[in-house]
Structure 1
């Protein structure tokens, strides 16, 4: 397990040196053995051997000694994490340039790299927990943005089933609820949109003692009035048109 923790730290900080003391803290928390530095060197050697057995050349992935500690040198074209972050940044740039179709495509590419929650198969340590939280939040933000762009592109039918699955997994997530309501409303299914709102309201009130946010309540009113809805690059900028 410690080998996986070490490799996860090196991957998350790829192409950046991690101080030896930080790696020791991640591996042994507050109780490192007297032989911690030697043990760390053994783990580093084992990772190098694993890379060699996998046929990874130093140009693809290599753990090097880099003061004040160690660094994983990696070709970012071979690392899903780096590819995801690159697609995310390119998508933001495309959106700002007005090319929302390309931005949606880039976000779809970024999301296709995921296979589950970040670092779910690693015994998380404080630093890895923080990194997993950052990555999962970025993934969710990318998912929200891609769906919003698809709504702007008129792909209402395509996102409805996806949004039903997302609202089932995230029953208190107002943005996903709003996007599903908008997609259903635009497809001429206001009754279904109102049911989605009712389910969210019930869950929030019964389990959290909360009411939906102001903007979601406004969306609810627009659906009730059967008003046509125009959505901007944030559902909170929606307008009746």
Structure 2
């Protein structure tokens, strides 16, 4: 049994992908899964689905969605796995195995991979962090986003996804895989032009590939984006990396790929 939030909402058993009903029922289930095993007040569900423009019938609509979810969870696929939706004071609590929720597994793998990287095991960390990133199929609850729903947890999860990507790139650079990495880093830097850590990774990868002028151009693009967007210059760390590249500092070369 898997509950997938890192992309369109999916509930997947060993045999099938489960139909989840209309937008209100899907959104209610998605919100409860984002807060799995915690009590969620009915008022929070109403605000999550409609904001300040909740219709007079909003609580009734939530109750209908809850009834639909309960009918779904009464099926044998769910009942035999301890999945249940309980009524709590002023709200509801969805009980699930945390490991069945992909966003929970993502967080666990991210913590594990960072610990492996900090302990000096970049190859193990790269594998773990790659597994975490592989859980993503699209943006968070992409089907609900298409209907106009945007919860703060969406942006938070996307930030965490980018941070894990940067951790993975750190591990890959430590392993001397800059040739394999550089193209992907270039694409990511275009998508997130003000991300300084990402720029640093790209500059190092380009420099280690013998592309010094392109590494410096990457710095200038990020500096321009930061000034235009935030009115800020790059941090001292990024400025020092630019100077080190200008001076062709040999300490930047890191581990080089082995020739066969």
> Could you say whether these structures have the same fold, taking a TM-score greater than 0.5 normalized by the shorter chain as the test?
yes
Residue 239 of structure 2 is aligned to residue 221 of structure 1: no
| 2:153 corresponds to | 131
Counterpart contact for 2:126–2:171, Cα < 8 Å: yes
Residue 64 of structure 2 is aligned to residue 42 of structure 1: yes
| 1:161 corresponds to | 183
Listed as ranges, the gaps of 5+ residues in structure 2 are 1-22, 255-260
User: Which of 15, 20, 23 is matched with 2:45 structurally?
Assistant: 23
| 1:145 corresponds to | 167
| 1:114 corresponds to | 136
Residue 82 of structure 2 is aligned to residue 76 of structure 1: no
User: Which of 111, 120, 132 is matched with 1:89 structurally?
Assistant: 111
Alpha-carbon separation, structure 2, partners of 1:190 and 1:32: 56
| 2:35 corresponds to | 13
TM-aligned CA deviation for residue 15 of structure 1:
1.3
TM-aligned CA deviation for residue 112 of structure 1:
0.7
Residue 234 of structure 2 is aligned to residue 212 of structure 1: yes
TM-aligned CA deviation for residue 65 of structure 1:
1.9
Counterpart contact for 1:64–1:71, Cα < 8 Å: yes
- Name the CA shift for 1:159/1:46 in 2 (closer, same or farther; >3 Å): same
- Name the CA shift for 1:52/1:155 in 2 (closer, same or farther; >3 Å): farther
Q: What TM-score do the two structures reach when normalised by structure 1?
A: 0.82
Q: What TM-score do the two structures reach when normalised by structure 2?
A: 0.77
Task: Output the aligned Cα RMSD.
Answer: 2.7
TM-aligned CA deviation for residue 118 of structure 1:
1.8
User: Which of 120, 126, 141 is matched with 1:98 structurally?
Assistant: 120
> Which is bigger in relative contact order (C-alpha 8 A, separation at least 6)?
2
